[in-house]
Each structure stands twice: as C-alpha cells, then as structure tokens.
Amino acid sequence: MSARSEFEFELRYDLRNPEQWHCPWDRFYAQFLDQVQWADENGFDVVDLNEHHFSDDGYLPSPVTMAAAIAARTKRIKIRLGVVLLPLKHPLQLAEELAVVDILSAGRLEVCIGAGYRQEEYDGFGISMKERGSRMEEGLEIIRRCWEEDCFSFNGRHWQLSNVRARPKPFQKPRPHIVVGGSTVAAAQRAARLGDGFIPVDLGLLKPWRDEMIRVGKDPDAALELITRQAIGAATYVFVAEDPDAAWKAISPHVLYFHNSYAVWTSKRGLSMDTGSRVSTTTAEDLLKTGAYGVFTPEQIVDRARAAISSGVHAKLRLQPMIAGLPLALGQPCLELVASKVIPHVRKLRLTD
C-alpha cells in the first residue's frame, strides 16, 4: 500500500464556548483534554487545533499552549496545529515554543503556518494587514533558520536579529516540516518557496503552487504528503450515529452556529472556506443542502473509507466532537461509535490494501 492511500482519523477543535451553551472554562478545557487522552488511547490518529483571536465565544487563541498540554497527556496521537497565525507573533519566540512542544511530544508535532484573514485580529495586535505577506516571508525564514542553524543574524523589514542561538532544537530531525496555508496565489507561491507543503483554502491554488515549486527547483509530487487530505463524508462537518436523523436534530443548533460564525468572517474577506460557507443559513435543513455537512452511520463511513483507500486517495475522517460547545453527552458517543465500529474495520482495510 502506498503512503498516500493511508487513512487518518482526525479530531478538529477550535474550542468555541458560546454563551448559549457556555460551560465554565476550567471544566470546558478539562473535558477537552480528557477527551483527547481518551482518543489517544482508542486509535485516533490526529488532534488538530486552530487559532483565532477576539472572538466572543473564546475561539482558541493559543494553540501552542494547548498543544503542550496535549503532549503531556498523550503518548501516540499526532498534534497538528491547523493554522498558526505567524504575522501576529514574534517568529523567534514561536520557533522556540514549537521546539519545546516537539520535544514534549517526542516528535508528534505537525505545524501549518498561515497569515489569517480577519481585519479585527490585525487591528487588535496593532499590525497592518498590508504587512501580512512580508511578515510571513520573514517569519518563515527566521523559524527555519532557528531550527536549522547553530547561530545566525537576520536583517529584514520587520525583524533585526543578531547572533541568534535558538536552543533547544526540535526533537524531529532535521526539523519539523513547515506547511504553509493560504487563500491567494501569492500565498501559494510563498508556500512553494519557503514551505515544505501547502494547505490551500481553494484546491484551485494547487496549480500556482505546483508551478512555483517547479520554478524554484522543488518536486511538488514529493510534497503531496503535506497537502490537505480529502475529508470523506462531507467537506466541512461529519458526525457518526446509528440514527442520523435523531442525531442531526440534536446537534444541528451547534453546527448552525459554527457555519454562520465562519460565514460572517469569510464574507468580510470575500473568501469561501468550504462549500456554501460564504452565505449565512437560518435553518438546519438549508445547511444540509449545502453538501458540506452530514450525519452518517458507521457502515456508511466504512464504505466511504474503503472507496478512498481502494482508489489511492489521501483521505481522512474529520470529526469535531466539541463543535460550538457541543456537550460531552452528545459528542463523546460519536467518538465511541467510531472507535468501536469504524476504526477496527478501516485498520483491516489499510493492512490488506
């Protein structure tokens, strides 16, 4: 079986805790860490964390801090930082913090770095959005040099560094991969020049990324492992239940909140993160019509996984068990169903493919 046909079970968290379902923050985070530890012990492959700032629902603002907590509680699950917003940070400090997490996790850290798209975040940090590109360019170079070089100096537009000796170095050798996310042609070209892989908002951006990879003498095919896997079931959100209709009725208010929150953000920038996400939706029925959301039985998920594996698609089942404050009593049964009725069957498919 080729490496690209392997299948991942991924848990995604943004840790929104909306007012209408609010749980005290200490208990909310404790439940999250308990759930991730359980997932680590029950066959899930990846926990993915996302970052945003100044959201009323407390969208996770510090994924690196949370990644360290996960590293201390788990043994095998990969810790994927879905997008770290580099222009809002000092790249030297970020490189050091990521190195510490990589050591704590014994090399389980995966990092995607992006520029973000919300004007409110740049205003809050006192940074012009016009500097996004240049701060990404400089920051990516600084992070790479912190991890690769014993000592270096840097003289750029935003950062002037002298005789930097970043210690300790990451656990992974020669360093963790640096994957770059983006939503523009310029971001795709930057990812080709300065990154090891690219996670595009729009898959149409893979062409300019490939073209730039070839132009700078890199092999785009060798970087395919670091490109977004195809999510089976639905593009944005999947839930697994024995009775899909009953499950959708219970979880749809949370999914609707999730959808509309992103729709407000992306519409301001003219982005479409996933199918139908640019337009706010008022009913759960309309949400299902977008095709980006769905509830499936374990058998349906196994069938989709089998199809992906047999066709060599680089795929995953992506679940969001705490989406928009979804209570543990609703989210955890989904994971337990996947652990008992999906993962064992898909593991057998991977071994016999």
**How far apart are alpha carbons 271 and 210 in whole angstroms?**
22
pLDDT of residue 305: 96
The pair of three-digit structure tokens given for residue 348, joined into one six-digit string = 């057998």
pLDDT of residue 2: 34
Residue 147 · residue 166 · CB < 8 Å: yes
Residue 284 · residue 255 · CB < 8 Å: yes
pLDDT of residue 312: 84
**How far apart are alpha carbons 269 and 123 in whole angstroms?**
15
**How far apart are alpha carbons 336 and 259 in whole angstroms?**
25
Q: Which residue positions in the chain have pLDDT lower than 50? A: 1-5, 273-278, 353
Give just the sign of the alpha carbon dihedral 342, 347, 350, 351. negative
What are the residues facing 7 on neighbouring strands? 315
Strands 109-114, 7-13: pairing kind: unpaired
pLDDT of residue 3: 40
pLDDT of residue 147: 98
**How far apart are alpha carbons 330 and 85 in whole angstroms?**
31
pLDDT of residue 270: 60
DSSP string across 81-146: EEEEEGGGS-HHHHHHHHHHHHHHTTS-EEEEEE----HHHHHHHT--GGGHHHHHHHHHHHHHHH
Q: Among 9, 4, 24, 172, which residue's Cα sits nearest to residue 99?
A: 172
Q: Among 322, 343, 303, 348, which residue's Cα sits nearest to residue 44?
A: 343
pLDDT of residue 290: 87
Residue 189 · residue 220 · CB < 8 Å: no
- Residue 144 one-letter amino acid: R
**How far apart are alpha carbons 124 and 213 in whole angstroms?**
34
pLDDT in tens, 94-134: 999 999 999 999 999 999 999 999 999 999 999 999 999 99
Q: Residue 77's CB: how many other CB atoms inside 10 A?
A: 25
